[in-house]
Chains A and B, each alone.
Chain A
Amino acid sequence: MWKIKESSPQHWALRVIGVAVIAIAVVWVPTQMSTSRIGQFSDAFVLIIAAMSLNLVLGFTGMISIGHSAFFGVGGYTAAILIKDHGWSPGYTFYAAAVVAFVVGCVIALPALRIKGIYLALVTLAVAVLFPVLVKWKKLVWLTDGAKGIDSVRYDELPVWPILGELKGRDGRAVFAYWLAFIVLVITYLVCRGLVKSRFGRSLVAIRDNETAASVMGVNLTATKVLVFGISASLCSLAGVLSTLRTGVVTPEGQYVTLLGSIVFLLIMVVGGAGTLWGPIVGGLVYVWLDNTTRGFGSNSDGIIGFLFGWADQSPATLILGLALIIIMFAAPFGLVGLIKKIWVKFVVVVPRPAGTPVAMTGDESGR
């Protein structure tokens, strides 16, 4: 086991190596991989953003929400309506969707001021169930196109970005979608990290751990809960915008705008590791990889899959995905990030800086 001091040169070296590996991987994907693989990463980024937003509310604040699919839908529909009906450039719809979803999120957070736990879960469940019904409501058909949904929502011409240059065709669209999703993902991560590492973030954790104690310590429960729900909804709507731009279609039957979407976001967050910043990222990548891999097995697979699941009349994809997720949760009850940390400390232990050590001595201003 290798022991290193926090903020020591070795610690910094490890951090730099970690960042470099991630940077290489991020650039490797759109430059070296096939278009469909790039698309899979874009899909993963969308789900990661949604799971990160949920993590803010559930993982860090302890407010159970099963209604995030509605915020995803708010984002998707805001983008589609503004682009198709009002001729907006797709990029601007991110801002509009974030604002609309923030307001919706704050309103939906109001019940959270009086109820919590399973009761709050039921309220948000109702939101998830209501959203598709509301979209299909006859009196809103003029806006949402009802059950038919809105299609052909896309960049007619891709913007020219400095480094990427002029992008054309499906390869260009895939690369553009990848970088757009990546940028939104980074912004989401920074917002979440900024919040969690701040005083506001400590208020969230305090509310999660003991609401009464948090209140006694001076945390404004009302403002904190409403604000975090609003921010979470806002971030989730960005994923909705990305999803709509990727498929060009938004309908009330779309998987991620229905209750099933909320379950997928929840699953990704839990599999990755609830209450950790990297949990949704790891969970999202693993989920999309598993989902794509299992769907490829088909009903007439050879080898071990055929041997184990040959009895099934249909594709065993969903069954295998479910089993894989159960195994993951069994092996990593605190999520994959928890498992990685558990393995990591067997090799490297970062000794925390002694409490009260002046910042100047370590050069670390973060106060961690």
Chain B
Amino acid sequence: MKRISKKLVALTMAGALVLAACGGDDGGSDAPSTDAPSTEAPSTDAPTDSDAPTDTEAPAPAGWTVDTSACVDPDAANAPIEGTIKIGSAMPLSGGPAAAAFAPVKDGFEAFVQWANETGFLGDLQMEIQIEDDQYNKDLTPGAVEKLLDANADIFSGIIGSPNNAAVRDLLNEECYPQLLALTGSPEWGRAEDYPWTTGILIPYTVEAKAYAAAIADTYGEGANVALFTVNNEFGQVYVEAFKDVAPEYGINIVDEQTNEATDSAPPTAQVNSIASNAPDAIMAVPLGAACAAFLGEVANAKAANPGWEPQIYLTATCASSLILGLAGAAADGLYTANNLVDVLDPESAAIPSVAEYISYMQSIGKDDIKTTAAAGWHTAEMTALIIKQALESPEGLTRASIINAARNFDQVGSLTRPNVRMKMNGLDDQFIAESLQVIQYDAETKLFTDIGELITEFES
């Protein structure tokens, strides 16, 4: 009898699973649909002055607007936000190398929010920031975001990592919470038709790859031989696919492709030797973290072993920090990379008033030692605040919906953006906020970057 009852229990449980299996899955998307794409460009007419961080203009006219009718709670998406706006984010703050690399981003983000509240950047509106630790583990990101939602976060900004953002994208779009300025360059953040509430902030890897391909073609003309060295993860794969897509357009021959694992601690000796055996004109390198310096060191060794081989090295902007390149020493000399923010260590840039204010503020709060790595956090927070400001001044007032509308009809400059770089989005026509970039060359002796050519704006939609 007891055995039969146990079987019955098991059968019931299995039946419940069948119920789950029979659950409605019509293949449709839960993501709220957007209105028809607007062809009307926003006319924010932001100033061209790069040193003015507070240069919001008149409220954006009705351009692209989000459809809130499919939200779980449309009223909440359109409810006014008053007094304090709570910004949530998830970043790696503990648990491994990612924490060491990204924790300063949190400090930069928090520093801007503190500065903005002190200076009345948003008038009477105060910003509150709560950053949860997801250890760069996408399995922990949903829990972190749910905790923030329980804590009444109004919007999300600066979540780090492509899988981490992807892990909460469906949730936040279904609930209609702005998921602003994801800190990854994946082209996935340009899918406003499917995910209207999600945007990125970094230069898309596809755009960066195109810029390097164009620079190589300029130097070597038709038929340049290029080798690829990439980290074997999502970041590297997207990059390689983008570069290979544009290579034929610029007459580039890819002569070798090598990868290393993100977890590899050994230098990529075999990979670089393989590249050297093909003697390419240039190497397009997309390593990650400490592997940036290790790769450069191995290339220097290979050059010493192969006299006469002097390839140009194009290194992803992710590695383009004086701190990382400083580890490579002379091996980093002469490499090319790209950026859309100023180098705060460069005295010329540091003299720009808005940059000087940033440096001064970081000094005042005892964070001067991380001012280079914290710049990304400050920049992200500043863009978030500018979006909020634009939404605040819109006819609809400050709501979650008006915030995403402001983000997608945006044209501003930041205190740390390079001169003439505009951060802009335009509905479905331009879904990436950062598409202008400057190719730069590193000088290992001065540990500074030199601009190469003009600012590239041709990829702006």
A residues with a Cβ closer than 8 A to B are 34-36, 39-40, 43, 83, 87-92, 94-95, 133, 136, 146-149, 151-152, 154-161, 168-170, 173-174, 180, 183-184, 186-187, 190, 194, 243, 246-249, 251-256, 292, 294-296, 298-299, 313-318, 365-366
- Judge if B63 is at the interface, Cβ distance under 8 Å: no
Give the interface segment out of B115-123, B231-239, B305-313: B231-239
- Judge if B445 is at the interface, Cβ distance under 8 Å: no
Considering only residues 71-96 of chain B, those with a C-beta below 8 Å from chain A are 72-73, 93-96
- Give the nearest-CB partner of A33 in chain B: B150
Interface pairs (19), CB distance under 8 Å: A36-B147, A36-B150, A43-B143, A90-B20, A147-B234, A151-B163, A151-B188, A156-B29, A158-B23, A159-B19, A170-B72, A187-B14, A190-B13, A246-B139, A248-B170, A249-B167, A253-B233, A315-B99, A317-B95
CB distance from B373 to the nearest CB of A (A): 12
Question: Which residues of B lie under 8 Å from residue A35 when comparing CB positions?
Answer: 146, 149-150
Question: Which residues of B lie under 8 Å from residue A313 when comparing CB positions?
Answer: 103
Say whether B146 contacts A190, CB under 8 Å. no
A180 to B17, CA, bound (A): 8
- Judge if B266 is at the interface, Cβ distance under 8 Å: no
Say whether A180 contacts B20, CB under 8 Å. yes
A158 to B24, CA, bound (A): 6
Question: Which residues of A lie under 8 Å from residue B269 when comparing CB positions?
Answer: none
Question: Which residues of B lie under 8 Å from residue A87 when comparing CB positions?
Answer: 25, 27
Say whether A314 contacts B23, CB under 8 Å. no
B interface residue count range (under 10 / 10 to 19 / 20 to 34 / 35 or more): 35 or more
B residues with a Cβ closer than 8 A to A are 1-3, 6, 9-10, 13-14, 16-30, 72-73, 93-96, 99-100, 103, 132-133, 135, 137-143, 146-147, 149-150, 163, 166-167, 169-171, 174-175, 188, 232-234, 236-238, 261-262
Say whether A253 contacts B163, CB under 8 Å. yes
Say whether A243 contacts B139, CB under 8 Å. yes
Question: Which residues of A lie under 8 Å from residue B1 when comparing CB positions?
Answer: 365
Say whether B146 contacts A255, CB under 8 Å. no
A190 to B16, CA, bound (A): 15
Say whether A152 contacts B94, CB under 8 Å. no
Say whether B9 contacts A190, CB under 8 Å. yes
Count A/B pairs, Cβ under 8 Å: 193
Question: Which residues of A lie under 8 Å from residue B150 when comparing CB positions?
Answer: 34-36
Question: Which residues of A lie under 8 Å from residue B103 when comparing CB positions?
Answer: 299, 313-315
CB distance from B270 to the nearest CB of A (A): 16
CB distance from B345 to the nearest CB of A (A): 20
Say whether A156 contacts B149, CB under 8 Å. no
Interface centre among A43, A156, A317, A365 (most CB of B within 10 A): A156
Say whether B262 contacts A91, CB under 8 Å. no
Question: Which residues of B lie under 8 Å from residue A91 when comparing CB positions?
Answer: 17-23
- Give the nearest-CB partner of B18 in chain A: A91
Say whether B139 contacts A253, CB under 8 Å. no
Say whether B72 contacts A155, CB under 8 Å. no
CB distance from A171 to the nearest CB of B (A): 9
A340 to B363, CA, bound (A): 53
Complex A-B, nearest 3 residue pairs according to Cβ-Cβ distance, in ascending order: A159-B23, A91-B21, A91-B20
CB distance from B121 to the nearest CB of A (A): 23
A316 to B94, CA, bound (A): 7
Contact of A161 among B19, B27, B28 (CB under 8 A): B19
Say whether B234 contacts A251, CB under 8 Å. yes
A173 to B9, CA, bound (A): 25
CB distance from B362 to the nearest CB of A (A): 16
Say whether A247 contacts B138, CB under 8 Å. yes
Looking at chain A's contact residues, the main secondary structure is: helix
Say whether B234 contacts A314, CB under 8 Å. no
Question: Which residues of B lie under 8 Å from residue A314 when comparing CB positions?
Answer: 93-94, 99-100, 103
Question: Which residues of A lie under 8 Å from residue B20 when comparing CB positions?
Answer: 90-91, 94, 159, 161, 180, 183
Contact of A256 among B13, B19, B139 (CB under 8 A): B139
Known contacts A156-B25, A170-B175, A247 near B167 by CB under 8 Å: yes
Contact of A253 among B14, B73, B149, B234 (CB under 8 A): B234
Known contacts A146-B237, A147-B234, A317-B95, A89 near B143 by CB under 8 Å: no
- Give the nearest-CB partner of B164 in chain A: A249
Question: Which residues of A lie under 8 Å from residue B233 when comparing CB positions?
Answer: 136, 147, 252-253
Contact of B13 among A95, A169, A173, A183 (CB under 8 A): A183
A194 to B236, CA, bound (A): 47
Question: Which residues of B lie under 8 Å from residue A151 when comparing CB positions?
Answer: 163, 166-167, 169, 188
Say whether A43 contacts B72, CB under 8 Å. no
Question: Which residues of A lie under 8 Å from residue B132 when comparing CB positions?
Answer: 295-296
Known contacts A40-B143, A43-B143, A254-B163, A315 near B234 by CB under 8 Å: no
A186 to B171, CA, bound (A): 27
A148 to B135, CA, bound (A): 19
Say whether A255 contacts B137, CB under 8 Å. yes
Interface centre among B28, B93, B175 (most CB of A within 10 A): B93
A35 to B21, CA, bound (A): 24
A256 to B140, CA, bound (A): 11
Say whether B10 contacts A36, CB under 8 Å. no
CB distance from B62 to the nearest CB of A (A): 28
Question: Which residues of B lie under 8 Å from residue A94 when comparing CB positions?
Answer: 17, 20-21
Q: Using A36-B147, A157-B30, A169-B73 as known contacts, list a sample of 5 further A-B pairs with CB atoms less than 8 Å apart, ordered by residue number in A.
A: A133-B261, A173-B171, A251-B163, A255-B138, A315-B133
A91 to B13, CA, bound (A): 13
Say whether A183 contacts B94, CB under 8 Å. no
Say whether A89 contacts B17, CB under 8 Å. no
Contact of A318 among B9, B28, B95 (CB under 8 A): B95
Interface centre among A90, A158, A170 (most CB of B within 10 A): A170
- Give the nearest-CB partner of B235 in chain A: A147
- Give the nearest-CB partner of A184 in chain B: B17
CB distance from B186 to the nearest CB of A (A): 9
Contact of B142 among A39, A168, A183, A318 (CB under 8 A): A39
CB distance from B198 to the nearest CB of A (A): 12
Question: Which residues of A lie under 8 Å from residue B28 when comparing CB positions?
Answer: 156-157
Contact of A159 among B24, B146, B166 (CB under 8 A): B24
